[in-house]
Chain A
């Protein structure tokens, strides 16, 4: 079966600036995909090309098998929710939401019915007569969403729709957003530079950097198996360490990491002795002990705590190892603050081998 939205080798440059380079993506019907990446990596430009506001230099866009490149923006039937919401300041809520339906020449009764339905769904009933400047940020956001959803578009595009909301509201609205998306079963392309938001909300995440797609995968894959240093570092907090293969055999490998020799038993590794590789171990998989432990499969190395950041639910330590490398360790529900000489323990299964090929800058 063909994907619902299909992007093939899309490229856009603004003068010297590469906004999007050779981007290919497939989005299945009803899927929620997120474009994630730092500021300026081409997320908005990608959306704007799909919506038809920017013409790509190269590449094709298909919606439901229909070639979109030649279709003018106003006939594409992909609804966009803008970062600024872009509500019409001179129209009240009802007319904002009804605008697209009026353009589609629906009858008055139908317009009234559909606008009321969608506003009800978004808990905005009774606000029809208000103007955008009389609404809170969260309410404006809902109107923007209602205006897009009421058209039952073939695909929904959202450009950082939550970035103008405060942290609490952002979490609440993002859960609602996900519910609604499921309710309508609408194919959605979402843009954010907030990795936590992306992990929480997406079926699939496309991580971008400088216009180039780095990795496409579901939240598990992206977090657990980042393909390169950039992805590992951008998603969550990473302890990226360079390692040298010291011994290698069937089912095991010994690595030299930060002056320690660490034996890892794992199947299916194919590493040559002397090879340099990059590994990652997440702060939440590290534990601190006052004394060396002797738990099976637990590896222990010595270190010294440099500083900490207390965040209530968790505490983060910066621990210096004997060759000077710093590791971040995160503990949950801390009861005391540790200090001085310390042992770091971890399970070797939590060591990820960050792939060294594929657009990787080690």
Chain B
């Protein structure tokens, strides 16, 4: 597509809107990042980096990131391949169930792991009679692989769908057999997308806080170390220094990802192959993939089954009588935290979606000096680990000029900022599709810039707006890594309360609270998706 540079005389209104967007980005993205970097003195940096425990945490983080992200990507690839290149029974069921982890807090897999393999674990204690538990990196590896592969599935599914089946037929026509087609056409075409998925998953794993804090107990990784610095020692400089250390590899991966995405994609959206059935894998491969998908789906079902069971028995591992006792937890302060979660996530999701739609039009579409900086700042939060952002907000807004600590606003703003890149990307992609001519047509018919935005851009971006809201809401309501640094009495959220319960070994109530949180998230997403379908017909909102 040619990038028509719309050189509209930048009017006063546009300038004001850009100024507002820029202010938000500078105060809530740039400032926290700089604050974290500059908070510790040079001596404090050297002190913390020299610590044996820090070195171990760094090593562990890198190690588990490599391991888990490669496994998760591989699983995601096989799964996506099965969904696109086979006719195995139960595909729709597999596809639906596998996406459940995307809708739930990041630590549900870990929580199920605790229930199955922990101190009172169903498998370890009841079936195998092992006392003690098998925590440590093995568990973390398995848990993260299961928790993150759905993300890689989503990305790679998109990549495979973008491959024109005609290319594969052409290869067949030239005499290639099934495995040949896979090796010489499908795989090379998908590879840039697969690498892109790998890098993204690596960013997620590196930043993962929920899973290691639950099950990696004595095995330190950077995010849990950072939390430990603050909760254990209230050592803010130490936490900031470690956070900077965590941001470095993430930023590297982020830049790597953007260069990968830019340069190397062979996928061209021609739309010509659409509706054409792909050449299927051989029967043996299909059955192997079926077994694989069935196993994987069973694991996911096991995770959620365990959670449900955990919520409805009296005391896990001791008294298996069915009961609703665990739901008593909803009555007290912990129950109120659910309302806070819902409230904060709604505002954060809405805020991020609204910000994105304006940013995509006024930053991405217009030409002005400083545009690239604002564009970068809008995407930057995608490269910031939750823990880093939490620490950044904590350090930046607890002293004048802007004191927000102890308010709901600090939580909402942090969650909003964290979700801007997703919505921003969705909206800019939407704008690209709309093309410049629609706007020009409106202008040509007499619409001033405000009317152009109101009459064409806004209604046409309704679906990226809604899917931006859905994603933002989900990520916000299930977030633990950011909010854990920002809550204050009366402003707690469900995920933090769940963690708290687990640390007091109150597994039943913890699981019950998780189940309710999950149900609320599902309900909101369901409503939003209905809105999406109602507003714009056939659109796979979440899948974009």
Contacts and interface: CB of A to CB of B under 8 A. Distances in A.
Contacts, number: 73
Interface residues of A, number: 29
A179 B444 CA distance: 24
Contacts of B262: none
B435 interface: yes
Interface string A118-137: 00000000000000000000
Interface in B309-333: none
Interface string A72-94: 11111111101110111110000
B23 interface: no
A86 B451 CA distance: 16
Contacts of B442: 88, 99
B445 A100 contact: yes
Contacts of A86: 435, 437-438, 440-441
A276 to B, nearest CB: 42
B459 interface: yes
A277 B6 CA distance: 46
Given A103-B445, A103-B451, A72 B440 contact: no
Given A53-B6, A55-B7, A99-B455, A73 B443 contact: yes
Nearest to B437: A86
Contacts of B455: 88, 99
A88 B456 contact: yes
Contacts of B272: none
A75 B442 CA distance: 12
Contact of B440 (A78, A80, A100, A151): A80
Nearest to A97: B445
A104 interface: yes
Contacts of B528: none
B448 interface: yes
A78 B440 CA distance: 12
Contacts of A100: 445-446
Interface in A25-70: 48, 51-55
Contact of A84 (B6, B7, B435): B435
Interface in A146-172: 147, 151
A80 B460 contact: no
A54 B448 CA distance: 16
Interface residues of B, number: 23
B543 interface: no
B447 interface: yes
Nearest to B449: A74
A103 B447 contact: yes
Contacts of B441: 80, 82, 86-88, 147
Contacts of A77: 446
A147 B445 contact: yes
A54 B447 contact: no
B9 A74 contact: no
Contact of B444 (A54, A79, A87): A79
A104 B9 contact: no
Contact of A51 (B435, B438, B444, B456): B444
A86 B8 CA distance: 18
Contact of A82 (B440, B451, B456): B440
Contacts of B440: 48, 51, 53, 73, 80, 82, 86
Contacts of A76: 444
B444 A80 contact: yes
A52 B438 CA distance: 15
Interface string B459-477: 1100000000000000000
A151 B452 CA distance: 18
A103 B438 CA distance: 16
B466 to A, nearest CB: 14
Interface in A283-335: none
Contacts of A54: 7
Contacts of A151: 445-446
A74 B437 contact: no
A53 to B, nearest CB: 5
Given A86-B438, A89-B460, A99-B455, A53 B447 contact: no
10 contacts: A48-B440, A51-B440, A74-B447, A74-B452, A84-B437, A86-B435, A86-B438, A87-B441, A99-B442, A100-B446
Given A72-B9, A73-B8, 13 more contacts: A53-B8, A55-B9, A72-B8, A73-B440, A79-B445, A82-B440, A83-B437, A84-B435, A89-B438, A90-B460, A99-B442, A99-B447, A100-B445
Interface of B: 6-9, 11, 435, 437-438, 440-448, 451-452, 455-456, 459-460
